[in-house]
Structure 1
Amino acid sequence: MDFTVKSNCLMFMLMVLSCLVLSHSQYFISSRATYFGSPDCKGNPRGACGYGEYGRDVNDGYVAAVHRPYRNGTGCGGCYQVKCKAGGCTDEGVTVVATDFGIGDRTDFIFPARVYSKMAQADFEGELLSYGVVDIEYRRVPCDFGGSTLVFKIHEATKYPYYLAIIIVYPPGVYDVVGVQIWEEDSKTWRDMRKPYGAVWDMENPPKGEKITFRFSLSATGSVDNGEWMETPTFVSTSLQAGATFDTGIQL
């Protein structure tokens, strides 16, 4: 197994996926947004994505609970540009990371109050907050923090070699992780990991051995039907301890 892409066919598929990403990320979707808490409030450390405290502080706290973009947890970690449509809103809006699930009054985004107010020009922030709910438009964009490669973390519940759970920290670009597998050397097969919730993938009785190789199915649209598998470097199995973070090198 080699991390390097070996075939022209796979390179062609990546080019196709890149085109899908461009078309997928360039149009805005109309919706609504609201907020919670005081101006200094951060996100929820018990968010549905499973990020814990990371879900409060990532991207300098510019995070959101999302509805449609959540997609059963597949959208966790994705970045979105969100612009309000009332008078006094900025042209840029804010860029947030999806770290939780939430729905208000027909909303797709629920922000901490300070993030919500940043969609407005300085002299309009108070008025925007007074609305409570505002019409918005949003689109998926590449994240510009923490690098651009796929990074995962060993979940705190891991008890390797009996149980292994990982959490996707940075999905690459605007791709979603729609599948994760681990190579089993004894049977020469890839074994599926399960997605119990949010950005967490797990497996009971994972493959044993000195070396562990993962592969990830990446989709530009969030659909398993058009996901493409990308293999990671081989990791030393003794490093699969709770809290460890791994940069796969996968960059799209």
Structure 2
Amino acid sequence: MGFAAKSYCSLLCMLVLLITISYSRGSYVSSRATYYGSPDNLGTPTGACGYGEFGRRVNGANVAGVSMLYMNGSGCGACYQVRCKIPKLCSDDGVKVVVTDYEEGDMTDFILSTRAYARLAVPNAASKMFHFGVVDIEYQRISCRYPGYNLKVKVHEYSKFPGYLAVVVLYQAGVYDIIAVEVWQEDDLKWKCMRRAFGTVWDLPSPPSGPLTFRAQVSDSGSTKWVQMTDVIPSEWKAGVVYDTPIQLS
């Protein structure tokens, strides 16, 4: 006998929350980082988080792929301060990056975009930095900030109206990880759990009709809360369209 949808969603939230607590913000953590090649120095539109073009340019294209910090997708959208530890070559502040992909390297926690990797260095020293390839770093979870932007909900390109809906939440500020998403089922007067398809893409076959109201369960260093987005997607929604909300997480 399987779990009911609501029970499954609650169990999944608890499991992800335990993982999230293990990687909560605090002091700097020592690790290593490298970079991936890109002809335009931007991120990739095919990242494992499912951000698409947003993942190429968000945060000035200072983005990164991670391995352990990916956390089955709940780590997508998290922001980190990363700084390297080579005397006279590395800048004091390093670079702030947004997680947009899953990547594995040579004992590295971060695979940085070319642009982000260059910003680890002091001015006019980026070319020397690239000779190292892999560098020792330290990193810390920090708050994401998107001045002038509220949360946005994108209907993923995989969606097919009206029978299959997949959504991605963009511009999640603060230090929150999204660990569950539910949609309001007006006919049954209850919340219906969406499935994490991959990364930060949440999907649902046979979605409700009418303007759609969502709520996301978010975690901040072990505490959780629900954030509701009322009537954010219209009845005649379209794949690939981004819809604005009046709320933000920070």
TM-score, length basis structure 2: 0.82
Q: What is the CA distance between 1:34 and its match in structure 2? A: 0.5
Q: Is the 8 A contact 2:213 2:228 kept in 1?
A: yes
Counterpart secondary structure, 1:135: strand
Equivalent residues in 2 for 1:91-240 (5 A)? 91-145=92-146, 147=148, 149-208=150-209, 210-221=210-221, 226-235=223-232, 237-240=234-237
Aligned-pair identity in percent equals 44
Distance 1:171 1:38 in 2: 25
Distance 1:236 1:65 in 2: 29
Counterpart secondary structure, 1:58: helix
Q: What is the CA distance between 1:236 and its match in structure 2? A: 5.5
Distance 1:36 1:230 in 2: 35
Q: What is the CA distance between 1:24 and its match in structure 2? A: 4.2
Counterpart secondary structure, 2:165: strand
Q: Deviations over 1:178-205 (max 9, x none)?
A: 0000111121111000001011000001
Counterpart secondary structure, 1:238: coil
Q: Which amino acid aligns with 1:251?
A: L
Counterpart secondary structure, 1:64: strand
Q: Kindly report the root-mean-square deviation, in angstroms, between the aligned alpha carbons of the 2 structures.
A: 2.4
Q: Is the 8 A contact 2:212 2:235 kept in 1?
A: no
Counterpart secondary structure, 1:168: strand
Distance 1:148 1:118 in 2: 25
Q: Is the 8 A contact 1:34 1:107 kept in 2?
A: yes
Q: What is the CA distance between 1:68 and its match in structure 2? A: 1.8
Q: What is the CA distance between 1:50 and its match in structure 2? A: 1.3
Q: Which amino acid aligns with 1:177?
A: I
Distance 1:101 1:38 in 2: 16
Q: Is the 8 A contact 1:39 1:114 kept in 2?
A: no
2:238 to 210, 218, 241: 241
Q: Is the 8 A contact 1:39 1:112 kept in 2?
A: no
Q: What is the CA distance between 1:69 and its match in structure 2? A: 1.7
Q: What is the CA distance between 1:81 and its match in structure 2? A: 1.1
Mind listing any 5+ residue stretches in structure 2 that lack a counterpart? Answer: 1-20
Q: Deviations over 1:41-62 (max 9, x none)?
A: 3222211111222221222211
Report the equivalent of 1:81. Answer: 81
Q: What is the CA distance between 1:245 and its match in structure 2? A: 1.9
Matched, 1:65 2:65: yes
Distance 1:133 1:172 in 2: 29
Total equivalences in the alignment = 228
Q: Which amino acid aligns with 2:53?
A: E
TM-score, length basis structure 1: 0.82
Mind listing any 5+ residue stretches in structure 1 that lack a counterpart? Answer: 1-20
Counterpart secondary structure, 1:227: strand
Report the equivalent of 1:5. Answer: none
Matched, 1:51 2:89: no
Q: Is the 8 A contact 2:175 2:220 kept in 1?
A: yes
